[in-house]
Amino acid sequence: MTATEAGTATTTGTFAPRPGAAPLPRMIRAQAALETRMLLRNGEQLLLTVIIPTLLLVLFSAVDIVDTGAGKAVDFLAPGILALAVMSTAFTGQAIATGFERRYGVLKRLAVSPLPRWGLMTAKTCAVLVTEVLQIALLTAVALALGWSPHGNPLTVLLLLLLGTAAFSGLGLLMAGTLKAEATLAAANLVFLLLLVGGGVIVPLAKFPEAARAVLHLLPISALSDGLREVLGHGASVPWSDLGVLAGWAVLGLGTAAKFFRWE
Amino acid sequence: MRSTSPGSTPRTPGRAPAVEVTGLVKRYGTKTAVDGLDLTVAHGTVTAVLGPNGAGKTTTVETCEGYRRPDDGTVRVLGLDPVADAAALRPRIGVMLQSGGVYAGARAEEMLRHTATLHAHPLDVGMLIDRLGLGSCGRTTYRRLSGGQQQRLALAMAVVGRPELVFLDEPTAGLDPQARHATWDLVRELRADGVSCVLTTHFMDEAEQLADDVAIIDGGRVIAQGSPDELCRGGAENSLRFTGRPGLDLASLLKALPADSSASEPASGVYRVHGKIDPQLLATVASWCAQNGVMPDAIAVERHTLEDVFLELTGKELRA
C-alpha cells in the first residue's frame, strides 16, 4: 500500500475526470464474457448443466432401465437430454445465478454503470447461448459415440432450441426477480427435478396415465423434448403444436418477468 | 483536530453545483424516510453526510444515484435528472454501495478490469490495485475476500471510470487503520484532481479530516450544514478547564467572570468555566488564580468536536 503522507494532497492529475461510456458493443461483449465465465466457473452449475445430462445420457443409453419404446434407446434419449440441457442453463442455472446477483447487489451496482439494462439482459442471453452451444456440442458428440443417428432439418432444431431458451429464460428470470435467492435456489432445483421426471426427457409421456398426459404435454420441457424428438428422431418437418406451446410459455414468462422483476 | 485544510483547491466559482436537492420527500408506504430535504454539493468539494441510522442518508444518496424516484421535490446531479437522464448521468458518476455489488465468483482484479472496460477512458487498473493494496488478492474470488478488501474493491470500482462525481456510502466501515488512511488519501487526491465527492459516514473524525462541508441529517431533513469548523464553533458552547487545589471559592470566581459565564467543580480539584471562551476570559481566570494563590494546572480550552455537535443535535439516546 502506498502510504502517502496524510495532509493536503497535491494535484497529480491521475484522477482528473474524463468520464464516458465505452462503445455499446464493447460493453455487451465484455459483460457476456464475464457472465459466461461466472456460469462456467461455478461447480454446482457445471454439475447441473454438464455432468447430470451427460451421465443420464450415458447411463440410460447403456442400461435398459426405462422402456423407451422401439428403436435404439439413444435415439429416444438424445433429444430429451438436449432439451434438459437447455432447461438446466436457461432456467435453473440462470434463475439461481441471477437470484444471487440480485441478493448481493450485483444487479444494483450494474444499474448505475454505463451498461444499460437491456445491454445486461442481452449479455446474459449471450452467456446462456454460449453455454448451450458448448453443452450441445458435448452431448451430441457423446450421443453420436453411443450410436445416435439424428434426422431432420437443423434449422427447425435451432428454432426449437431458441424458443425453448426464450421460454425457460423468462420463467427463470421471473423466479429470480421475485423470490428470495434461497427460495429460488430450492425452487429452481425442485422444478428441474420434477420436469426431468415428468417432462418426457427420459421417461416417455406414454408411460403416464391418460389424464396426466394431457397436462404434461403442455409443459415447456415436454414441448421441447417432444418437438426435438419429432424432428431429430422422425425427421418431421415442423412440429407446430410444440412450437406453439413454447411460444406461449416464452410470451408468458418473459412478459411477467419484465413486469414483476425487482432489481433489488 | 484537522491536519488538512480543504481549500487548497479553490472551489470553481460559477460552476453549477455537483448535486442540488430541493425539498426532497421520499416515502416507503406510510413511513416518510426523507421529509423535505435540501442539500447542495458545490463542484469540486467533498461533502460528508452524517446522521444516525435511519436518518435518511442512504435514501437521499440513492435518490441522487437514480435508484429511487422522489415523491416530491427536485434532484439535480451534474445538472441532470437522475431518473429521466439516467443514461447520460451514469457514465459520469462513480458509485460505491454500502456492501456487495460484485459477483461472488469473480476475482478482484477481474471485476475491476471489467468495470474499467465499461468506461471510455478508465484509470490504469494496476495503479489502482497498488494504491488500494489489492495486489495480494487480485486472483482471489470476491466471496473469499475480507470485508476490508471487499470495501477497497468497491471503492476502486467507483473511481476507475474517471467520474466527475463519486458517491461513497460508508467507505471506511470495517477497515483497519492502514486501509482507512489509504482510502482517505485517495479521497483527498480525488478532490485535488477536481472530482466532487459525497460520502456518508458514521465516523466524525473522517468528516473532520476529509470534508469541506458537513450535512447532518436527522428525521429525513438536514438539521445543520457547514464546514466542520463552522459547525464546531457555532451551536455548542466551549469550555475552559483547569485543575487546582480542591474547594476553591466559585462564587468569588464567578464575580470576576462576565455575566453569562458559569463555573463548576465537577470533580474534586477540577474546575470548568462555561461561556464565551476568548483571550479576555482566559486572562481573567489566570489573574483570579494569581490573586488567590492558585497554580492553574492543565489549563485548557476544550473545543467541541464534531462528535459533540452531532450528539447535541441528534440526541444521545440510542435509537431502534
Q: What is the model's pLDDT at position B319? A: 59
Q: Which residue of A has its CA nearest to B110?
A: A34
Mean local confidence (pLDDT), B79-100:
95
**Average confidence score pLDDT of chain B:** 88
Q: Is the pLDDT of residue B8 over 90?
A: no
Interface test with B, best of A12, A15, A39, A41 (most B CBs within 10 A): A15
Q: Helix, strand or coil for residue B166?
A: strand
Q: What is the pLDDT of residues A248-262, one digit of tens each?
A: 999 999 999 999 998
Give yes or no for a contact between B120 and B86, defined as CB atoms under 8 angstroms apart. no
Q: Residue B197 contacts by C-beta under 8 Å, 6 or more apart in sequence?
A: B45, B46, B47, B165, B166, B168, B187, B190, B191
Per DSSP, B173 falls in state: T
CA angle, residues A8, A14, A15, in degrees to nearest 5: 80
Give yes or no for a contact between A81 and A201, defined as CB atoms under 8 angstroms apart. yes
The partner residue sitting opposite A108, judged by closest CB among B4, B97, B103, is B97
Q: What is the model's pLDDT at position A6? A: 41
Q: Which residue of A has its CA nearest to B8?
A: A8
Tell me whether strands B239-243 and B270-274 are parallel, antiparallel or unpaired.
antiparallel
Residues 151-210, chain B, touching A (beta carbon < 8 A): 157, 159, 161-164, 178-179, 181-182, 184-185, 188-195
Give yes or no for a contact between A176 and A259, defined as CB atoms under 8 angstroms apart. no
* B298 or B112, greater pLDDT: B112
Q: How far is A58 from chain B (nearest CA, A)?
A: 30
Record: contact B120-A19, CB cut-off 8 A: yes
Inform me whether the C-beta atom of residue A69 falls under 8 Å from chain B C-beta atoms.
no
Distance of CA B157 to the CA centre of its chain: 21
Instruction: Give CA–CA dist A111/A105, Å, rounded.
Output: 10
Looking at beta carbons, which residues of chain A come within 8 Å of B117? 22, 26-27, 30
Q: What is the model's pLDDT at position B13? A: 56
Nearest partner of A225 among A79, A116, A107, judged by Cα: A79
Q: What is the model's pLDDT at position A3? A: 40
Q: What is the pLDDT of residues B99-149, one digit of tens each?
A: 899 999 999 999 999 999 999 999 999 999 999 999 999 999 999 999 999
Q: How far is A263 from chain B (nearest CA, A)?
A: 10
**Average confidence score pLDDT of chain A:** 91
Record: contact B121-A16, CB cut-off 8 A: no
Give the phi and the psi of residue B173 in degrees, each rounded to 5. Answer: -60, 125
Q: What is the pLDDT of residues B169-195, one digit of tens each?
A: 999 988 899 899 999 999 999 999 999
Interface test with B, best of A1, A40, A262, A263 (most B CBs within 10 A): A1
Q: Show the cell assigned to A86.
A: 437447455
Q: Residue A115 contacts by C-beta under 8 Å, 6 or more apart in sequence?
A: A27, A28, A31, A123, B118
Question: SS in 3 state form for chain A?
Answer: CCCCCCCCCCCCCCCCCCCCECCHHHHHHHHHHHHHHHHHHCHHHHHHHHHHHHHHHHHHHHCCCCCCCCCCHHHHHHHHHHHHHHHHHHHHHHHHHHHHHHHCCHHHHHHCCCCCHHHHHHHHHHHHHHHHHHHHHHHHHHHHHCCCCCCCCHHHHHHHHHHHHHHHHHHHHHHHHHCCHHHHHHHHHHHHHHHHHHCCCCCCHHHCCHHHHHHHCCCHHHHHHHHHHHHHHHCCCCCHHHHHHHHHHHHHHHHHHHHHCCCC
Number of CB atoms found within 10 A of residue A41's CB: 14
Instruction: Give CA–CA dist A95/A92, Å, rounded.
Output: 5
Q: Where are the domains of chain B?
A: 19-102+161-182+189-233, 239-303
Tell the CATH topology of B19-102+161-182+189-233. Rossmann fold (3.40.50)
The pLDDT confidence band at residue B14, using thresholds 50, 70 and 90, is low
Nearest partner of B213 among B16, B18, B15, judged by Cα: B18
Q: What is the model's pLDDT at position B311? A: 78
Q: Is the pLDDT of residue B295 over 50?
A: yes
Nearest partner of B272 among B247, B293, B302, B249, judged by Cα: B302
Q: Is B53 exposed, middle or buried (0-12, 13-18, 19+ CB in 10 A)?
A: exposed
Q: Helix, strand or coil for residue B222?
A: strand
Record: contact B117-A38, CB cut-off 8 A: no
List, in sequence order, every residue forming a beta bridge with B225; answer none if it has no partner.
Answer: B215
Considering chain B, what percentage of its residues have pLDDT values greater than 70?
Answer: 92
Q: Is A66 exposed, middle or buried (0-12, 13-18, 19+ CB in 10 A)?
A: middle
Looking at beta carbons, which residues of chain B come within 8 Å of A12? 189, 192-193
Interface ipTM: 0.88
Instruction: Give CA–CA dist B179/B129, Å, rounded.
Output: 13
Q: How far is A173 from chain B (nearest CA, A)?
A: 17
Interface test with B, best of A113, A120, A124, A264 (most B CBs within 10 A): A113
Q: Where are the domains of chain A?
A: 24-260
Question: What b/e string do you get for B62-92 counting C-beta neighbours within 10 Å, with b at 16 or more?
Answer: bbbbbbbebeebebbbbebebeeebeebbbb
* B298 or A86, greater pLDDT: A86
Q: Helix, strand or coil for residue B266?
A: strand
The partner residue sitting opposite A106, judged by closest CB among B91, B102, B133, is B102
Q: Show the cell assigned to B186.
A: 485517495
Complete DSSP assignment for B19-69: EEEEEEEEEETTEEEEEEEEEEE-TT-EEEEE--TTSSHHHHHHHHTTSS-
Handedness of CA A144, A148, A153, A154 (dihedral sign): negative
Q: What is the pLDDT of residues B197-222, one digit of tens each?
A: 999 998 888 998 999 999 999 999 99
Residue contacts between A and B (CB atoms, under 8 Å): 153
**Cα–Cα separations (whole angstroms), residue B181 to A1, A248, B109, B186, B210:** 10, 57, 22, 8, 11
Instruction: Give CA–CA dist A118/A228, Å, rounded.
Output: 30
The partner residue sitting opposite A16, judged by closest CB among B117, B185, B193, is B193
The top-level CATH class assigned to B239-303 is alpha beta
Mean local confidence (pLDDT), A227-245:
92
Inform me whether the C-beta atom of residue B68 falls under 8 Å from chain A C-beta atoms.
no
List, in sequence order, every residue forming a beta bridge with B213; answer none if it has no partner.
Answer: B47
Residues 8-47, chain B, touching A (beta carbon < 8 A): 8-9
CA angle, residues A66, A68, A74, in degrees to nearest 5: 100
The partner residue sitting opposite A15, judged by closest CB among B120, B133, B190, is B190
Nearest partner of A180 among A108, A263, A99, judged by Cα: A99
Residue at A72: amino acid letter: K
Record: contact A114-B119, CB cut-off 8 A: yes
* Least confident residue range of A15-24, A140-149, B311-320: B311-320
Interface test with A, best of B58, B63, B90 (most A CBs within 10 A): B90
Handedness of CA B197, B138, B101, A121 (dihedral sign): positive
Q: Is the pLDDT of residue A27 over 60?
A: yes
